[in-house]
Amino acid sequence: MLRKRRPDLERPFKTPWVPVVPILGIIVSLGLMASLPMATWLRLIAWLIVGMVIYYSYGRHHSRVQHTVPDEVKVAGD
């Protein structure tokens, strides 16, 4: 973003070969993920489900929006 908005700023670090390095990183990461055994994927899915349950249950009980919305929404004219 800064490269487009403020191209004049000095940058101490620049990624070499900008389109090539990120694409190669994605390809290598996907290759490593594809080589994982099925047990690892099953553990990942199980932990994701556990994490989502904790996240949503915590959010539901501690949400500020949940406490500010009235129980009944009154329609105009009622």
> 31-55: per-residue pLDDT in tens?
999 999 999 999 999 999 999 999 9
pLDDT grade for 72, boundaries at 50, 70 and 90 = low
Q: Is the pLDDT of residue 25 over 70?
A: yes
Given a cut of 90, whether residue 61 has pLDDT beyond it is no
CA terminus-to-terminus distance, the chain: 51
Structure tokens at 10: 């000095």
**Residues 6 or more apart whose Cβ sits within 8 Å of residue 22:** 15
> Which helix (H) or strand (E) element contains residue 42?
helix 38-62
Question: Rounded CA gap, 31 and 34, in Å?
Answer: 5
Q: What pLDDT, on the 0 to 100 scale, is given for residue 69?
A: 54
The pTM (predicted TM-score) of the whole model is 0.53
Q: With a cut of 60, say whether residue 78 has pLDDT above it.
A: no
Three-state DSSP class for residue 60 = helix
